[in-house]
Structure 1
């Protein structure tokens, strides 16, 4: 018998009550065969031999091992003859050392599962996802565990989707902060563009794990069609949460796109304002140039070689420039 060292946690219930919080591999078969028994085993970085032995104890075929250890498995639910297989991804935003959200990174934790009517075997290839939150959720809804492994799967998915909501909320807060920056200062710097890019990159990573959950939960609901175990309303509520998370990410994507486009529009508007002011001041500066050029002719004119000619030219410069300034100001050119 292969020694199974990858079991991170395990638990068994009877009638919804915990009877063992450390299920040994040789106890799995007996616990599953009990009429009202329910078993959960969590594997962290298991080997092929370990997983194969556990699936045999659960009475599953060897094909159950293949999908669970596939390194690039996409989020999905697959129905097999004797079991249900799923893969989902949790998402978490880890801030930078300075506490900046956009300077941090998005981490995803993969959780795969093999589900039978009386057992749930979860497989994690890393420790990015903490099963402690799932255990707390099961304890809070312990009355549902009498319905079998469907309650375990619901609690696990509910924690994953709640984590999606928390991450999306953080990104939404950052989008609102960037919106305030966009309209709260006269011009944006390259740092603002970098932050918008970081927000968009984080959002793309989150959407990769959030959007497939619609199909995952929908497929799970289809496979549950015809089963009346008291969990229907709970799964309907879970599907509603998944739809809300998906729609939220879509609206955030539109907001990020709007932030980028609005920033470009504001820059164009500011450039137009600058060009308009430069054109107005250029017209005013052209007046004294023209007048001094006229009075600088080498031909006689009214006031030529006379003291009042200087006063006349100076007066024309001041009056015409002031008149142009007043006209441009009235038309919001300056």
Structure 2
């Protein structure tokens, strides 16, 4: 079996006893009651997954879920193992004008004495998982669920960082709403992108609490959370709930910003229309006076310079009066 990248580690009584173990020994390691193994596969092809499924007699549904992109985050229990699909989420500088959210699918099979994780992208989170397992031997000394907790905990922490980024961007957009020097179209594009990113982000973080809750639930199957690790998963569930609630509040806030932006644009349009109406009224008065004095009938000053000065005086006085009135009412 040729893989793009394989990382593996074996523990005995919480201590690392082997690293970089070839995948050919997977069946033997998983059958060893005295060790705990973790195999992490990066970007395997279909042949690799199929060979893995045949060697471990994996359910074909889990194989399809691991290979298909865009699967919904979920967890499924089987008599001899547990399967879960979740996502890592980070913000990257991409050329996509609609979204900068980078999501990476992670599929995990959990057996009584080992864990197998599969993902398409090279995730820096895996290194962080190993660091946490090294810093907390209690996790690996209590079975495969310790490794599962470390994986999920790192992913949820990444969700926290992503939510914090969204929160900072939302604050920046709020400041730009009332800044007349900022291009309105730029603000609208930024709000639209935020809405798309948050929708995608919520699809990832909302099912996470269900995943943690299902894993933590007591079970008679071969793979279950030991009592000593229950506080760890309870804390993880609390963190997943906080991210979920944070994403909901951010979505509502972005929707409010979108509506506020539309209201500001409507208010600016009303102000422009009000000014145009004021100036139109001022211009209409001279038109009325000149039209009146242009009639072919005798009037005061007709045919004499006095008539010109009377019309000019009426135009100036009426225009100034209307201007002052409209200015006082803040129409112009």
| Pair in the same fold by TM > 0.5 | yes
Question: In structure 1, how many angstroms separate the alpha carbons of the residues matched to 2:154 and 2:225?
Answer: 23
TM-score by length of structure 2 reads 0.86
The secondary structure found in structure 2 opposite 1:230 is helix
Structure 1 residue aligned with 2:135: 140
User: 2: CA distance between counterparts of 1:5 and 1:332?
Assistant: 73
Please give the residue correspondences for 1:18-167 in structure 2 after superposition, counting only pairs within 5 Å.
Answer: 18-25=16-23, 27-28=25-26, 31-32=29-30, 36-44=34-42, 45=44, 47-52=48-53, 55=56, 61-63=57-59, 66-67=63-64, 69-72=66-69, 73-96=71-94, 105-128=100-123, 130-167=125-162
- CA distance, structure 1, for counterparts of residue 22 and residue 198 of structure 2: 41
Tell me if the contact between 1:90 and 1:129 (Cα under 8 Å) persists in the aligned partners.
no
Separation in 2, partners of 1:68, 1:233? 30
Within a 5 Å distance, the mapping from 1:1-334 to structure 2 comes to 3=1, 5=3, 8-25=6-23, 27-28=25-26, 31-32=29-30, 36-44=34-42, 45=44, 47-52=48-53, 55=56, 61-63=57-59, 66-67=63-64, 69-72=66-69, 73-96=71-94, 105-128=100-123, 130-185=125-180, 188-223=183-218, 228-334=226-332
Unaligned runs of 5+ in 2: none
User: 1:243 Cα shift?
Assistant: 1.1
**2:4 & 2:274 partners in 1: Cα distance?**
71
Displacement of 1:192 in angstroms is 3.0
Relative to 1, partners in 2 of residues 1:52 and 1:313: Cα closer, same or farther, differing over 3 Å? Answer: closer
Choose 255-264 or 283-292, whichever is displaced more. Answer: 255-264
- How much does 1:172 deviate? 2.4
Q: 1:7 to 1:328 in 2, by over 3 A?
A: closer
Contact 2:80/2:111, CA 8 A, preserved across alignment: yes
User: Aligned equivalents of 2:125 and 2:233: distance in 1?
Assistant: 22
Query: 1-side partners of 2:264 and 2:4: how far apart?
Result: 56
| Distance (Å, rounded) in 2 between the aligned partners of 1:49 and 1:277 | 72
Question: Runs in 1 of length 4+ with deviation above 4 angstroms?
Answer: 3-7, 25-36, 101-104, 223-228
Number of corresponding residues: 324
| Cα offset, 1:54, TM superposition | 5.0
Using the alignment, how far apart are the partners of 2:172 and 2:9 within structure 1? 44
